[in-house]
């Protein structure tokens, strides 16, 4: 059999299958054609020497902002993909029901890299975000109409993976907990999970967390004070532990200022590692401090999270969070999404 690509000599780590061994992997017609200890290079049109490298499922960045050209914070997913090992970007609510069609037509469908998305509860999506302009998309509740979100989810069901809400003073002004409740209504009626962002109160963490259901995503789970998941003493807040027990998914969503090393240390020390590692990459953090998902993964490695678990949090777990079992794993016949990394 002839292969389009052969990745040879690497350490293949696929957390979903439990495989961690030297393996060659061959791809043909966009699918994984063979995985073996040794595959003859003569059968491949192109060969990548992966000696001293880790070969893993293509990374899934569960929290990104890639409505490039359509929103002020969007970055070009295609430019970021190759250098970050990312084969799937999940846009976290850059577009709402009112502009999702434009996002789809002009970005998602034209992109070489796979883009999936959460629909923002706000009809306009995230529209007033820059270094000098900050207008919260949920500050006027007239923009938060669940029926519009449900319609958008149904119309774009092949690319939509959930509903997004940004709660807090910056995103919601004086709207309090109302945007979260409206987003939950939309998520419930569309049969989708909710991704909930928490920034500075109001509302407080204690109002948001109990509302989240099994399979919902708490992004910025290691954010600093205020609304941090730990007390000033470093002890983890009880509502975080209850949320984990309930099946709420913890996503780091690094971003511009939503990851705190001391908070992360405290959470890891108490056994509350993130389920998902994502970058929350956008125009104002792509040049630092987030950069991309690889930098975010490196920070968790530095904090002592085991390599296999770091890879799991960027492959298997986000695939599960978006109900895409065909992604985040390497198996013969499966999608040929592969990342080649070096520590």
| Residue 43 is assigned to a ligand binding site | no
Residue 28, token pair as written in the block: 């043909």
Residue 243, token pair as written in the block: 């949320």
| Residue 20 is assigned to a ligand binding site | no
Kindly provide the residue ranges of all beta strands, DSSP E only, lying in the chain, ordered along the sequence: 5-14, 19-28, 31-36, 47-49, 54-57, 59-64, 86-96, 114-120, 128-129, 134-135, 160-167, 194-198, 217-219, 249-251, 338-341
Counts of helices then strands in the chain (DSSP H, E) = 11, 15
Q: Which residues of 323-341 are buried (b: 16+ CB within 10 A; e: fewer)?
A: ebeebbbbeeebbbbbbbb
| Residue 170 is assigned to a ligand binding site | no
| Residue 197 is assigned to a ligand binding site | yes
Residue 292, token pair as written in the block: 């991309």
Distance between CA 59 and CA 294 in Å, rounded? 9
| Residue 63 is assigned to a ligand binding site | yes
Sign of the C-alpha dihedral computed for residues 299, 21, 342 and 318 taken in this order: negative
Output the furthest CA–CA distance in the chain (Å, rounded).
65
Distance between CA 72 and CA 129 in Å, rounded? 6
Which residues carry a binding-site annotation for Zn(2+)?
Answer: 63, 65, 164, 197, 220, 280
Annotated binding site: 63, 65, 164, 197, 220, 280
């Amino acid at each position: 059999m002839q292969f389009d690509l052969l990745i040879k000599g690497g350490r293949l780590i696929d957390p979903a299958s439990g495989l961690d061994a030297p393996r060659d992997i061959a791809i043909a017609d966009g699918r994984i054609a063979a995985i073996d200890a040794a595959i003859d290079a003569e059968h491949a049109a192109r060969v990548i020497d992966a000696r001293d490298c880790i070969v893993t499922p293509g990374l899934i960045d569960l929290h990104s902002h890639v409505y490039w050209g359509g929103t002020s914070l969007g970055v070009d997913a295609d430019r970021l993909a190759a250098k970050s090992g990312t084969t799937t970007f999940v846009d976290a609510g850059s577009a709402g029901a009112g502009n999702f069609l434009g996002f789809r037509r002009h970005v998602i469908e034209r992109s070489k890299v796979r883009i999936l998305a959460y629909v923002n509860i706000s009809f306009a999506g995230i529209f007033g975000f820059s270094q000098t302009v900050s207008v919260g998309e949920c500050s006027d509740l007239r923009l938060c109409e669940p029926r519009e979100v449900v319609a958008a989810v149904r119309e774009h069901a092949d690319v939509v993976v959930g509903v997004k809400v940004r709660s807090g003073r910056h995103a919601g002004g004086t709207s309090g907990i109302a945007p979260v409740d409206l987003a939950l209504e939309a998520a419930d009626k569309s049969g989708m999970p909710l991704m909930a962002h928490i920034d500075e109160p109001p509302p407080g963490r204690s109002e948001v967390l109990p509302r989240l259901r099994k399979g919902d995503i708490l992004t910025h789970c290691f954010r600093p004070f205020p609304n941090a998941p730990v007390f000033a003493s470093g002890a983890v807040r009880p509502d975080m532990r209850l949320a984990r027990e309930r099946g709420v998914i913890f996503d780091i969503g690094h971003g511009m200022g939503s990851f705190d090393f001391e908070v992360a240390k405290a959470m890891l020390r108490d056994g509350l590692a993130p389920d998902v590692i994502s970058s929350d990459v956008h125009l104002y953090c792509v040049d630092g401090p987030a950069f991309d998902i690889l930098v975010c993964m490196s920070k968790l490695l530095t904090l002592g999270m085991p390599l296999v678990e770091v890879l799991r949090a960027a492959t298997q777990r986000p695939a599960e969070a978006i109900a895409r079992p065909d992604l985040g794993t390497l198996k013969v016949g499966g999608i040929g999404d592969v990342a080649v990394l070096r520590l």
